[in-house]
Structure 1
Amino acid sequence: MNNHSLLTSIQNDRVKQWASLLDKKYRDRLGKFIIEGVHLVQGAFAAGAAVEAVLYDAERGLPEELRELAEQTSRGSRYVGSAAENAEVSASVEWIQAARSVMAKCSGTDTPPPVFAVVSKLEAADDAIFSAGGLVVVLDGVRDPGNVGTIIRSADAVGANGVVLGRGCADLYNPKTVRSTMGSLFHLPIIEADLTELLPAAQDRGFALVGTSLEASHTCYSYDWTAPTWLLLGNESEGLSASSLAAADETVIIPMHGRAESLNVAMAATVLLYEAMRQRRYN
């Protein structure tokens, strides 16, 4: 465990490259992103994600929860990922001690995490979201990374079949989005797509497109969510785009009896997804 290399300079070329991953332009160019914290690092390995390097605060030492994982995945060994149906995945992973200044430079938070990892962007086949009888969440211009991450987490919680990020959505690999998913980005297919092309393709395959509208005739509790469904959720302030609203087969409204004017999009998504799960699994 003490043979892990030590990085102390923020001027190191690799440190500069990792720090650049806080910027979407460089994430896209390099095909990598950063995950922060013990839970996300564990989740990445369990899902069989391509982890390039794990850096931890040299002053604090390697978190106890990761010691066995470090032994299993140091270069030259292999790791059995539990979430990958126990399939062995290659573990050519560097474990690196880093000075607090290095941790801070590569972190998207005010307080540097005890550990972060550099991971290759995830790959999801586009057709994975067309599972028979599936429930898919489609985001249309949801710009806040915290909202996008929370919706992905809720979709994972109810067992949805995937999430689609349309144009104008916050980047999946934005550090705040990644943190907000709490690891759920590793658990279900997530794709980025042009909704003007993808929504008609879903309809052709028998999926109902269901949006939200204040003018809807159905409440989310009277609508039948048991059919194959794509749930369309729009921008925080403007709602669904005109094209997505026009494509929708049906719209629903979440009834409110208190004095709140509205729910934010992540809260609304969670209400709708749990009603869909209740009908599909507990009705």
Structure 2
Amino acid sequence: MNEQIDQLISSVQNEKVKQWASLLDKKYRDRSGQFLIEGVHLVLEALKGTTQIATIVYDNERGIPAELKYKRETNDTPVTLGVEWVQASRAVMAKCTGTDTPPPVFAVLSKIAADKKALYRDKCLVVVLDGVRDPGNAGTIIRSADAVGADAVVLGKGCVDLYNPKTVRSTMGSLFHLPIIEADLMELLPEARERNVKLVGTSLQAEHTCYSYDWTHPTWLLLGNESEGLSPAVREQVDESVIIPMAGQAESLNVAMAGTVLLYESLRQRKYDS
């Protein structure tokens, strides 16, 4: 058992604390190549993966959460062996997470390197976001893509930052489970078409419903901005459009809900359509 006493940081003026807190700002995340995750669940998910974890910081009054303490004492993978563990005051925890009620633990990680090969796997299913700006929507779509076993998620220019703390929280750990690639869609989409990938969007004028469309082909599902939909340049790249039928009086579904419906129809056809 590891009996070492971890460094205690109590002042919000500490240089490490200033560095950690700066990661709440995209500019400093981009500059340092690091980001923050908070809460026991996300830290456990990070420890299961291969992402480089620099530091785990826990509330000194509450101590190391039991699940993390067990992981620390029993897991000797490279992910856990190189981690710096620090105990911090409640004030430090609040400053670094930007919350009035700080979590019991947060961690500092290196940004995740994504393999673009996943975009072109056999019978690939990839979700492409074009101008999705709400962190909750982006995070939910990433969770849904993970849930259906999609190969990757692409965030085009104009999307919310993947490492925005609200986006990270909304993924509930799914950002560690599948490749998430930030890219210029005007470069990526033509390449996908050259590789015989079907680019599928949504449209109220579509000839296919999402249930009559054949999702078993290599497919990239394109989801657009919350209010404007797909940008004109991206819409020009679309091969097929589908519509989600609605039997009630709701005018529309938000982008995260619509994306989830489409992804689950794809899963049904690919895995359960006998």
TM-score (norm 2): 0.96
**2:5 counterpart of 1:15:** no
Q: Distance in 2 between matches of 1:252 and 1:25?
A: 38
Extract unaligned runs of 5+ from structure 1: 80-87
Checking the alignment, whether the CA contact within 8 Å between 1:167 and 1:192 is kept in structure 2 is yes
The one-letter code matched in structure 1 to 2:197 is F
Per the alignment, residue 42 of structure 2 pairs with 40
The one-letter code matched in structure 2 to 1:53 is T
Per the alignment, residue 211 of structure 1 pairs with 201
Q: CA deviation at 1:108?
A: 3.5
Distance 1:90 1:37, change over 3 A: closer
Per the alignment, residue 247 of structure 2 pairs with 257
The one-letter code matched in structure 2 to 1:26 is Y
Checking the alignment, whether the CA contact within 8 Å between 1:108 and 1:175 is kept in structure 2 is no
The one-letter code matched in structure 2 to 1:185 is L
Q: Distance in 1 between matches of 2:139 and 2:39?
A: 16
SS at structure 1 position matched to 2:265: helix
Checking the alignment, whether the CA contact within 8 Å between 1:158 and 1:273 is kept in structure 2 is yes
Identical columns (%): 68
Q: Distance in 2 between matches of 1:104 and 1:46?
A: 26
Query: How far does the alpha carbon of each residue in 1:131-168 deviate from its partner, in whole angstroms, 9 at most, with x for none?
Result: 11110000000000111010000000000000000000
The one-letter code matched in structure 1 to 2:124 is G
The one-letter code matched in structure 2 to 1:16 is K
SS at structure 2 position matched to 1:56: strand
Checking the alignment, whether the CA contact within 8 Å between 1:60 and 1:114 is kept in structure 2 is yes
Choose the corresponding residue for 2:32, options 5, 30, 39: 30
Q: Please give the residue correspondences for 1:129-140 in structure 2 after superposition, counting only pairs within 5 Å.
A: 129-140=119-130
Choose the corresponding residue for 1:194, options 180, 184, 189: 184
Q: CA deviation at 1:90?
A: 6.5
The one-letter code matched in structure 1 to 2:122 is A
Q: CA deviation at 1:217?
A: 1.0
Per the alignment, residue 52 of structure 2 pairs with 50
Deviates more, 1:107-116 or 1:254-263: 107-116
Q: Distance in 1 between matches of 2:72 and 2:21?
A: 23
Choose the corresponding residue for 2:113, options 105, 119, 123: 123
SS at structure 1 position matched to 2:103: coil
Paired residue total: 271
**2:100 counterpart of 1:98:** no
Cα RMSD, aligned residues only? 1.2
Query: How far does the alpha carbon of each residue in 1:100-158 deviate from its partner, in whole angstroms, 9 at most, with x for none?
Result: 00000000433100000000000012222111111000000000011101000000000
Checking the alignment, whether the CA contact within 8 Å between 1:70 and 1:95 is kept in structure 2 is no
Checking the alignment, whether the CA contact within 8 Å between 2:72 and 2:80 is kept in structure 1 is no
Per the alignment, residue 85 of structure 1 pairs with none
The one-letter code matched in structure 2 to 1:9 is S
TM-score (norm 1): 0.93
**2:262 counterpart of 1:272:** yes
Checking the alignment, whether the CA contact within 8 Å between 2:53 and 2:79 is kept in structure 1 is no
Q: Which runs of 4+ in 1 moved over 6 A?
A: none
The one-letter code matched in structure 2 to 1:240 is L
**2:174 counterpart of 1:184:** yes
Q: Distance in 2 between matches of 1:175 and 1:198?
A: 27
Q: CA deviation at 1:69?
A: 2.0
Deviates more, 1:107-116 or 1:12-21: 107-116
Choose the corresponding residue for 1:63, options 62, 65, 73: 65
